[in-house]
Structure 1
């Protein structure tokens, strides 16, 4: 519903989206860091941060051209260089979990390329084990269900991705649930990574590559055709192709849409331009995500506020977005059932338990621990 000025109306009975139980399926590892934590770690290791990371405001980014993407990647790499010891990893993961719990997340699948941390953490396998141990500890401490999506880098050789896929499968019983493909989708064709994704899928991992953000619908079709994607990281450019929208809806392929990120990187000029309503009305399942809060300035609940404020989503529709995030996750069935029931309770005004409530031993039985 629109106001007389043309903007969406916010009803006075709107429920608090921070209390809406939801799953978070698109959060990058370094990008989840608190700005204050980055400043402390940079001081600890003598890392000189650029002004864009110290101003207290999200940096101005526009990654729709090569220069803009390079600047974004340089800022991300600078932040990552401040993660040097196992304690830094543990702190980042615990704080990311705390932030998600505060925003109503009850299940988080955090995405990481462990090769980026391997040089300072004793190698690829030790780095992954440190990350998985940190995720397990944070999950126990906060009550948040947490798992890992291991992501290959499009900018590296496909053989490196195969190595990473084999390692991810090897540690599937330690909390790895998916295999992704990140970095600039305009470089590194999805089809070049088909064998890595075949290894991951054969090992029981969910295929969740990035596509349809900086590149158009063809990028999404390649993820579907060449990588047999079960989820698409972003996927918003599907709105440009009605046939592709129908395909995603028919196959119920979840798109991990990150509205604030899309605007910050220049994919769309303003939040109201992100085609949330187009995707939702076409029947494409959506899972709102924060992407890289460190660089984009907003976390999970803010994405739901964008849907409400800029796209006129009602509470019932926000609840459906939360349900879609749960259905698109790799959470065990009993966890899904509990979350879906609690989403219904949010909508009807019934008391909804928090992730911290569920951290009690009697409730943790519903959340199988990684072996």
Structure 2
């Protein structure tokens, strides 16, 4: 028994209906059907409806001598069973209703049934259990009332017991002893428990009607304890019904259902700093509440289950550098794409590669990595073009990607040590990919194929890739050839929607930034064939080396073409850097923005103007250092500001940055965001982050709308499958 499971039944003169039903729900405690010829079918029926054994039986009945007699026999049967683990029984007797012979008495009984079913529903839900209703007892009007109550308050199953015409004579007037053990097969066959349906809880029950609050049992059953406490084995409570308020309220709510639902949704949306997927507001209130209460990223033992759930969610990846996208295995695969060029220069490479083999065989990997400048591998041999030497070096690890990973990351393969290493050390981890490896069309296409494949595996519907095409021309390609190769391969291999963003780097000269701006204006003139995929421009690199205001004039041609802009700002620099990006370069999105919280007024402007934040939890933690619930030794580090930004209504998105360098993927980034938040993030928060990604995407409005609708449909389908903690 996994929760507080309650069986609720009406009762008339036939006390034996309770053993007949309990024999189905609790076959171990009440073995009445153990020898039933259709025992296997009964087991299958229980499984089909996921019916669990009940721990409590609630009985609704009338007053009067006939009821007294039935209750006495029921109690005698319980005592005769004497197994010690039978369900407790709580009897609700409706005062002054001895027999349902008048319309007034029927109305009072209906009201009583609705009130008690509401109470049982609340108790079962609060205890994480099931409510099962039996239609087999009492008058037909009582069964009808139970069905009506089920349509409002919900139940796991509606049960009935069908008796055939060939009931053995002893069972036509049974004694207690007949129900204290397994019935013979021919007798058991006379009884057939059936499930006649199940009902979800009607959403209008959990909605707050303006000025009238939420329906709860305490409003209708005086002294109602909220379903708490340990139930006694036998308890009788008299229910005094003086009016039919609950029935009238439900009738009114049913009549005004559409109006109530709209108002309920409106109140929720107005109470939140930012709206989530609109379809989520149509979920039943208890489902919606569960999304807000279920938190991820707090328990390492749940990580696998949480990652599996997040992996199925649709995503938009807005901040991904092509130059940092590959892990060790993918770097080797990209090097293999250059095999023909490597073989063409094998004579020139032989001696150089032999030296490297000796160093790798005899040197300590961590010491070797610390002493090397990987950039020197780019063109160490005269006459050998880029990226041949880098590719040849990587191919030394063709059958041992783990060794390359060890050489590149050293002690930082342990997540606990890969925290707060600083920007320069982090950036060095990408020196063997990016502009070192992506100097050929073969490399560019392979890297884009790998990135596109990874995006699709993680249900990324929209992918934005950023790069500096001018940096990939040392191997003989023109900037235009680089753009065409990347755009074409992303179209072929990427998810259904892709955007390309150019990067102007603060590391180089302002002339280099201007060259990329000029390239962007030329590419935009192409239209199809790469130009239509270029949708944004980024300024990246050391913020102190080149503040945003220093390149405003350079950016003017981009603004004239209405090209979207996203600026790296506030990653390690103060909030003033973010202010410059917004007010000098008209940034629509900010990469990282970790220091934005230093300027509350600027935060308000972000909310008002819907400027999005491209947060990258893994790289932010690895470069700057933040508290991570899963990493020992990080407790003293600062709190990640993501949840603060969410609570302020900012359009926060979560992205991978450099998935190969940060050893991450789109799914893990959502989970890392939760881990970096004290107390974790709720499913509701994470779905809001997902929606923000699509809302902030650099695509045409009609495409964005289509992506949002598709993502919404995927999410609803996933939620229908259920979230298992």
Same fold (TM > 0.5): yes
What does 1:200-279 correspond to in 2, within 5 Å? 200-270=558-628, 273-279=639-645
Give matches, 1:325-340, under 5 Å. Answer: 325-340=693-708
Contact 1:220–1:235 under 8 Å retained in 2: yes
Displacement of 1:163 after TM fit? 2.0
C-alpha distance after superposition, 1:181-238 (max 9, x if no partner)? 1112232111121123221121121011100111121110010111110111111211
| 1:321 has 2:675 as partner | no
Other structure's SS at 1:194 match: helix
Deviates more, 1:211-220 or 1:327-336: 327-336
Selected match of 1:96 from 439, 447, 451: 451
Q: Distance in 2 between matches of 1:283 and 1:165?
A: 33
CA distance in 1, matches of 2:476, 2:497: 25
How many angstroms does 1:84 deviate by?
A: 3.1
Query: Residues 270-293 of structure 1: CA distance to partner in whole angstroms, max 9, x if unpaired?
Result: 378211110111111012100011
Distance 1:38 1:54 in 2: 14
1:27 alignment counterpart: 320
Deviation at 1:269, TM superposition (A): 4.6
Query: Which stretch of structure 1 is more off in the superposition, 70-79 or 219-228?
Result: 70-79
Bigger shift: 122-131 or 176-185? 122-131
Structure-2 separation of matches of 1:331 and 1:17: 24
Which is higher, the Rg of structure 1 or of structure 2? Answer: 2
The answer for the alignment partner of 1:179 in structure 2 is 537
Look up the match of 2:664: 298
Structure 1 residue aligned with 2:503: 151
Offset at residue 78 of structure 1 (A) = 2.5
Instruction: Report the CA distance between 1:39 and its aligned residue.
Output: 3.3
Matches within 5 A, 1:48-197: 51-53=406-408, 57=413, 68-80=422-434, 81-139=436-494, 143-172=495-524, 173=527, 174=530, 175-197=533-555
CA distance in 2, matches of 1:86, 1:53: 25
Provide the rounded CA distance (Å) in 2 between the counterparts of 1:131 and 1:346: 29
TM-score (norm 1): 0.83
Distance 1:35 1:58 in 2: 15
2:393 is equivalent to residue 46 of structure 1: yes
Measure the CA separation in 1 of the matches of 2:625 and 2:669. 16
- Cα distance, 1:266 vs structure 2: 2.2
Q: What is the Cα deviation at residue 347 of structure 1?
A: 3.8
* Equivalences, count: 344
Deviations 1:68-126 (A, max 9, x none): 43333333233221223211111100111111111121001101011221111423332
1:129 positional shift: 2.6
Q: Is the 8 A contact 2:654 2:669 kept in 1?
A: yes
Q: Distance in 2 between matches of 1:217 and 1:205?
A: 24
Paired residue secondary structure (2:537) = strand
Residue 62 of structure 1 and its aligned partner are, at CA, apart by 6.5
Say whether 1:286 aligns with 2:652: yes
1:265-321 CA deviation, whole Å, 9 max, x = no partner? 124353782111101111110121000111111111112112344433222222221
Please, which moves more after superposition, 100-109 or 263-272? 263-272
* Structure 1: gaps of 5 or more residues: 353-371
Contact 1:39 / 1:54 at 8 angstroms: preserved in 2? Answer: no
Q: Distance in 1 between matches of 2:667 and 2:304?
A: 18
C-alpha separation in 1, matches of 2:456 and 2:325: 13
What SS is found at the alignment partner of 2:464?
strand
Larger CA deviation: 8-17 vs 325-334: 8-17
Q: Distance in 2 between matches of 1:327 and 1:263?
A: 25
Once residues 11 and 325 of structure 1 are traced to their aligned partners in structure 2, the CA distance between those partners, rounded to angstroms, is 23
CA contact (8 A) 2:567 2:591 kept: yes
Partner secondary structure for residue 76 of structure 1: coil
Tell which deviates more after alignment, 231-240 or 106-115: 231-240
Q: Distance in 2 between matches of 1:267 and 1:54?
A: 17
Cross-structure match for 2:713: 345
Q: Specify the alignment match of 2:346 in structure 1.
A: none
Deviation at 1:13, TM superposition (A): 9.9
RMSD: 3.1
Counterpart of 1:109 in 2: which secondary structure?
strand
* Structure 1 stretch displaced more, 160-169 or 20-29: 160-169
1:319–1:344 Cα contact (<8 Å) kept: no
Distance 1:251 1:162 in 2: 28
Unaligned runs of 5+ in 2: 1-291, 336-388, 397-403, 630-637, 721-725
Q: Which stretch of the first structure deviates more once superposed, 47-56 or 159-168? A: 47-56
Indicate conservation of the 8 Å contact 1:214/1:267, yes or no. no
Cα distance in 1 between the residues matched to 2:496 and 2:710: 15
Does the Cα contact within 8 Å between 2:439 and 2:477 map onto a contact in 1?
A: no
CA distance in 2, matches of 1:58, 1:38: 20
